[in-house]
Every structure is written in structure tokens, then in C-alpha cells.
Amino acid sequence: MSSPRPPIPWPAVLRRLVVAAASLALVATLVFATFEWLADPAALRLGRGASPEAREAMRAAMGLDRSVGTRLLEHVARAITFDFGPSQARGEPAGTLMLQALGPTLAYALPGWLLGTAAAVLGGLAAARRRGVDRALSGLSMAVISTSSVIVVVLAQHVLAHRLGWFPVLGWPLAGAGASPLVYVMLPALVWALLQWGPDVRHYRAVFERELAVPHLDGLRARGVPERRALRHALRAAVGPIVARVGQRLSHVVVGSVVIEELFNIPGLGALLVAAIHEADAALVQAIAVATAAVTLAGQALCDGVVWLVDPRVRRRDVA
Amino acid sequence: MTRALGRAGRLALLGIGGFVVLALGAAVGLWAQAWDVPVGRPYMSPGTGAWLGTDALGYDLFAQAVQGARVSLVAGVGGAAGTVAVGGALGAWAGLRGGWTDRLLSGATDAFAAVPSVVALLAMALALGPGVSTVVVAIAATQWTGVFRAARAEAQRLRAADYYRAAQAMGAGTLHQIGWHLVPALRPVLLSALVVLFAHAVKVEALLAYLGASAPELPSWGKLLARSGSELARGVWWPTLAASAPLALLVLCAQVLADRSGRRSE
């Protein structure tokens, strides 16, 4: 365990950075192409009944009358430098709007994410080891997976907040509300944890089942190594798959849950996205898509780094 | 084939069949036709004139719930089939070709998968405007990355297989290779993906309908759920029940079927 710190493979890191930048450029191009081919941002802004003249004037005002190539290059260059330009409906810079919305989202999504991951890992481990626990948790996870997130959020809010009164009904303190902010984010975080726990516990159960059945653990057990020690080996081997899953969830944490934010009235990124859809604010939607993709790519790189540090098998194959 | 599904799997298959019959009957006009005319006062409780009561406008909720199966099934089947077609074709291409084709396609898929699916779905919905076809296209265009990876892995295995290389060496044509080797090799993976994606697509449709991006002219379960938060607060529970019970039941059936058919292929 106390091996000397491995040297960082700089060529692999550099390659990784180049690939990430190329991916981001590709995402920006895709987002641009979607709106270029499928919809006219000027027509979206004006609604379906607008006259052709008004649409042309709007196109000129929005700078859409320039050539496609110029606008594509501008769009991609902006995306790579994280300068997303102004929102069409609100006039403020999209980057500022997103940063403002990120706080409320993280306030409930981050605790919910931690709670859901911890509960799912522990539940998965317990389910992989004991048959009775497995049956109960599988049933529960199946129920959560089968229920649309809309229903889960609506029912949780109604039962726990309206009926039982354990939590405030809204998830974000209005001006002048007395209670501490912690109380408000508790229920949204719990609902988030539940929604994430459903599919995750199944995933982790499968991971642990595979790791607990590997032959070298049987070898350890046959030599009389206590089960607790054997379990430690299994846990260390399972770090890779767990971290990979956690990394996948990172992008969800940044966007937040559209339904939770709508029902609990939280001014987060999910709510901003829905508002942008309703206001037909193509620029803001594009900015959110590119920014969240950037966060996802960064999260993946971070997780690969963690696995590289923890798992010597990955290091030896130099899969950085 | 049905024996391998077990009792739960057969029940789930039966349940999905029931939904299909309900939706077909509603589509051709056998039942549940009075969904777009008021049948009584707003928010009549269940049993009084209407089986499941009425909604905010006095429309029959039972008829709406039955009609809602149409949109959900179309979105589920269409979305799943489109996703499997796009992901399967691209994945098979990348896996069989290898080299730079594979590297470029895989890189593009990774970049595409980096956009969170909620964002991609809603962006597509905005670009295309509300409608059932929007939901189907949005699901197919945004969810295919998982199928791509599964199909690519399977095609790579086929590429290295002796019998496939033998067929190539003997000069098998492209069509023969696809029909005789590729399709049978991919079939188990794609079939199980189809069932899983069906359940997923039904849930996605409900979410999009809840957010107002699905068909505006047809009743759907997600649309009924859009008002349920404020209705429940006033003690009106039946619209929520009429929408959530069939939605949860359909997804549960699909989920059980997916589990059972996945187990069989192992």
C-alpha cells in the first residue's frame, strides 16, 4: 500500500487534454448544427405567426444574416474559451446566469448525490452478500426505477411536506423566511438521493457480486484470512467501477433535476433550462449544453485520475 | 420462448399486451372517446358519473387515462426502435471497420454523451417544437450512445472471430456478411436494449409531456401530472392517480420483462 508515488505520465495527460478540447469543440458544433438545421432562432424568438419581414429584421439584429461558417467558428471559439455571449431573452451574459443558478442547484444536489451514493454502495454491498437483504432492496429499487421521477417528487412533496409537515413545502427560502436554509434543502436532497439510489443500487450490487466471486478471494478464504480482510480486497478492486459510476452522475448533479426544481421552486440550473425552453432562448440553451458537457468531460478526467492513483492495474497498463 | 421468462415475465408481457389492446381500441374509436368534451362539473370525485372523476375542466379522467396509453406506447416503441437503429448501425459500423473509422466514431460518441441527456432532450424539443414525433426523434437522437457501445463491443468480437474471417476470406459479399453474421451476432444485445429503452422512453415521454414538450393535442399521462402538485395540495387526488397508476404499471411491466429477457440471454 505504501508504494512510492508513481510519476505522472505527462504524454498521456497531454493527449487527454487535446482530446477533451476536441470533444468540446465537437459538442459546440453539434449544438450549433442542431439549431441551424432544425430551427431558425429568429423564428423561435418571434413565434410561429411572425411575418417574413419581421423575421428578416430579427435575423439581422441577431447577427444571423452572416455566413454559416463565420457563425460556426465564432460559436466554437466562444465555447472553448467559455465565453457564451448574452442570453437572447434576458440580455445578461449566459455565463453569469448559469453561475447564479449553479449555487441553488448544488445546494440540494450535492448533499443528495453524496447521500444517494453512500446508500447505494452500502446497499449494493449488503445485497451482494445476503439473500434476504437482496430481495428487499431489489424490490425497493425496482419500485423506484419504475416510478417516473415526476410521480416520486410530487408524492414526496405532498406526503412529507403538505400532509406530515416535516419539511417546508418549497425548497428555497423566499425573502423574509425565517428558518435556516438547511431546512429548505433537506427534502429536495432526500428526494434526489432516492431517485439516484434506485438505479445505482442495482449497479453496485452487480459490481460487488462480480468482485466477491473472483477466485483470488476464495484463495484468501481458503488460507483462513478472515472475511473482513477479504472484503477489504474486494472493496479496493471495486473502486474503479464505483468511481466511474460516480463520475457519470457528476453531470446530473450540475444540471440538477428539472422536476425537483420546478415543484420546489428552486432557482437552479434545471429551472433556468426550462425557462430558457419556454422563452425560446436558443443562445442560453446552447450555452447550458456546452457548459454542462465541459463539466462532464472534466469530471470524467478527474475520475480517471482517481482510478489511476488507486488502482495499480490501471497504472501498469498505462491507461491514463 | 415465453417459458424462459418465468411467471413474472409472462405476467409483464400480458400487462404490456393489455396496454396495447387498450391503446388500439382507443385509437380506432371503440372506447374512451369522450376525452375532449366536458362530461360534468370540474373535479367531480370518482364514482359520481365518471369512473375516475373529472379534471379541472370537467373532462372524464378515465377516458383521458386510456387515451394517454396511445402517446406513451408510440413514444416508447418509436423511441426505443429509433435509438436501437441509430446506435446499432453506428456501433456495428465502428466495431467492424476498426481503425480510424472506429476511433472517430467512438470519439464523437464520447463527446455526444458528455451533454447531459436532459439538456439534449430539451434542446431537441425546443428546436423541433412540441409533438409526438418530436418526442420520438428527441429520444432516438439523444439516447443512442449506450447502444452504440454495446453494439461496437459485439461487432469487435465478431470481427476477430474465426468463422467471420473465414467468410471474408471466401469472398462473402457485404449483404451476406450483414444478414448471415452481423445481425445474428447483434440480435441478443439489441433485443435486450430494446426492452430497456422502451421503459426508459415511456418515462422520458412523461417527463417531456410534464414540461409541455409533448403532443399538445393528445391527452397524455405526463400532461395530467403537470397539475397534480397543486391539485394534491387541495385534496384532489384522483387526477394524480389516473395518470400515475397506468404510467408506473407500464414501466414496471417493461422493466420486469427487461430483467427476465436479460437473464435469459446470459
Please tell me the least confidently modeled range out of A19-33, A79-93, A104-118, B199-213: A79-93
- Of A28, A141, A89, A104, residue with least CA distance to A257: A104
pLDDT at residue A48 above 70?
A: no
Backbone angles phi, psi at A267, to 5 degrees: -80, 60
Instruction: Return d(Cα A115, Cα A194) in angstroms, integer.
Output: 9
Q: Kindly report the average pLDDT of chain B as a whole number.
A: 86
Instruction: Return d(Cα A198, Cα A116) in angstroms, integer.
Output: 9
Are A34 and B127 within 8 A, CB to CB?
yes
What does each C-alpha distance from A294 to A47, A188, A249, B40 come to in angstroms?
Answer: 31, 25, 14, 53
Q: At what angle do helices B132-142 and B183-210 cross, to 10 degrees?
A: 130
pLDDT at residue A231 above 70?
A: yes
Q: Which residue of B has its CA nearest to A30?
A: B112
Neighbours of B116 (CB within 10 A): 25
Are B122 and A282 within 8 A, CB to CB?
no
Per-residue pLDDT, A179: 64
Please tell me the least confidently modeled range out of A71-75, A174-178, A255-259: A174-178
Q: How far out from the chain centre does Cα B205 lie?
A: 8
Are A293 and B114 within 8 A, CB to CB?
yes
Per-residue pLDDT, A178: 62
The pLDDT of A44-66, averaged and rounded, is 74
Q: What percent of chain A has pLDDT over 70?
A: 92
- Of B223, B89, B76, B211, residue with least CA distance to B150: B89
Query: In terms of residues, how long is chain B?
Result: 266
Are A22 and B247 within 8 A, CB to CB?
no
ipTM of the complex: 0.83
pLDDT band at A319 (very low <50, low <70, confident <90, very high): very low
Chain A residues in contact with B207 by the CB 8 A cut-off are 148-150, 258-259
Instruction: Return d(Cα A292, Cα A284) in angstroms, integer.
Output: 12
pLDDT at residue B247 above 60?
A: yes
Residue A35 touches partner B, C-beta closer than 8 Å: yes
Residue B54, all three cell numbers? 373529472
Residue A54 touches partner B, C-beta closer than 8 Å: no
Residue A252, all three cell numbers? 446530473
Q: DSSP letters along B32-51, please?
A: --TTSSB-SSTTPPTTSSST
pLDDT band at A92 (very low <50, low <70, confident <90, very high): confident
Per-residue pLDDT, B46: 77
- Apex B109 CA angle, A66 and A236, nearest 5: 140
Residues 6+ apart with CB under 8 A from B111: A22, A23, A24, A26, A27, A30, A293
> Which one is predicted more confidently, A177 or A228?
A228
Q: Kindly report the average pLDDT of chain A as a whole number.
A: 83
Cβ-in-10-Å burial (0-12, 13-18, 19+) of A110 comes to middle
Q: How far out from the chain centre does Cα B93 lie?
A: 24
What does each C-alpha distance from B102 to A29, B49, B90, B147, B179 come to in angstroms?
Answer: 20, 62, 10, 15, 21
Instruction: Return d(Cα B187, Cα B120) in angstroms, integer.
Output: 28
Instruction: Return d(Cα B213, Cα A96) in angstroms, integer.
Output: 27
> Which one is predicted more confidently, B128 or B81?
B81
pLDDT at residue A61 above 80?
A: no
- Of B245, B233, B218, residue with least CA distance to B59: B218
The pLDDT of B210-237, averaged and rounded, is 81
Cut 0.80: pTM above it: yes
